[in-house]
Amino acid sequence: MTHALDVVGVSKTFASGRTSKAVLDDVSFHVKEGEFVSLIGPSGSGKSTLFHLIGGLEKANAGEIRIGSRRIAPLERGLISYMPQHASLLPWLSVAGNIEMALEIAGIDRMEARQSARQWLARIGLERDADSYPHALSGGMQQRVSFLRALLSPQPLMCLDEPFGSLDALTRQHMQTWLLSLWEEDRRSVLFITHSIEEALLLSDRILVLSTAPAKVIREIMVPFPRPRGEQLWSDPVFNELKREIYSLLTPAESKGGHS
Ligand SMILES: Nc1ncnc2c1ncn2[C@@H]1O[C@H](COP(=O)(O)OP(=O)(O)OP(=O)(O)O)[C@@H](O)[C@H]1O
């Protein structure tokens, strides 16, 4: 079966002058069609670097990346839809204009894009902000528009790089349940970076835990909760067990007071 993404034996070392830093060491994993996979790992473990390799912004030293059935050439771009940590909306276009542009890039003609953008904005509760410019929106609203742009982009794989990292706790929680309900209606293949164990457990079908750099995948966790999911998960004992398990994988032995 063809996967949405295959990362096979990928290694990456950054060299600068005489020094070099190995960031990824023989990393392999895949994302199935329609699957939501999260990457969680210590700070500096190369999660964003992986996205840069998949998105063609950096070149791997070894290994292969396939999107769908296509092996991507080094530095080949445009094959994924990408949502960064900070909303990257076009400041000179209105909110509706930003969405229309994503639809037009996806091949929808201008008149239809105009109509469809308004309908989508209504679906995410932003119909009244259609004519505003991005700078006039709150951080959470900007991220909703940014997510919608990624969702409407034509590429089948969405790579979301800690999209809620800069939001306050309450807004973040709202955004998680919002994303979940939208994604559950229209299951795209997603690779999601997060630092939050709860967020990964709430959203994902599978979680890949990375080690410190040079990073390897040290654990794959199948998330067993049925969908649709909601805040009832917080009180599920299995949720708390998995949370503890991931936490202990991410916490180095010395900071737990043990010896390795
Ligand atoms: N272009 C680059 N040149 C040199 N070193 C780099 C470059 N990009 C990333 N690095 C280094 O690679 C390592 C991994 O960085 P990366 O941003 O991928 O980690 P991360 O897991 O996404 O971190 P965080 O969770 O803190 O966002 C870091 O030590 C970083 O300094």
- Is the pLDDT assigned to residue 205 strictly greater than 90? yes
pLDDT single digits (tens) 115-174 = 999 998 998 889 999 999 999 999 888 988 998 888 888 888 999 999 888 888 888 888
User: Are 161 and 34 in a shared domain?
Assistant: yes
213 within ligand 1 shell (Cβ under 6 A) = yes
pLDDT of residue 249: 94
Give φ, ψ of 183 to 5 degrees: -70, -35
Q: Tell me which residue has tokens 């939208």.
A: 182
DSSP summary character for residue 86: S
CA of residue 102 to ligand 1 center, whole Å? 29
Domain holding 64, by residue range, is 1-80+157-176+192-260
Q: CA-to-CA distance for 145 and 211, rounded, in angstroms?
A: 33
ipTM: 0.97
pLDDT single digits (tens) 78-100 = 889 888 877 789 999 999 999 99
Tell me the pTM.
Answer: 0.90
Dihedral angle at the C-alpha atoms of 205, 54, 29, 160, nearest 10 degrees? -20
Name the residue of 10, 14, 161 whose CB sits within 8 Å of the most ligand 1 atoms, as the mutation to test its pocket. 14
59 within ligand 1 shell (Cβ under 6 A) = no
Q: CA-to-CA distance for 101 and 117, rounded, in angstroms?
A: 9
For the chain, what's the residue count?
A: 260
Q: C-alpha angle with apex 121: 155 to 186, nearest 5 degrees?
A: 45
pLDDT of residue 139: 86
Residue 21 placed within a domain: yes
Count of domains observed in the chain: 2
46 within ligand 1 shell (Cβ under 6 A) = yes
48 within ligand 1 shell (Cβ under 6 A) = yes
Residue 163 placed within a domain: yes
Provide the CATH number for the domain around residue 42: 3.40.50.300
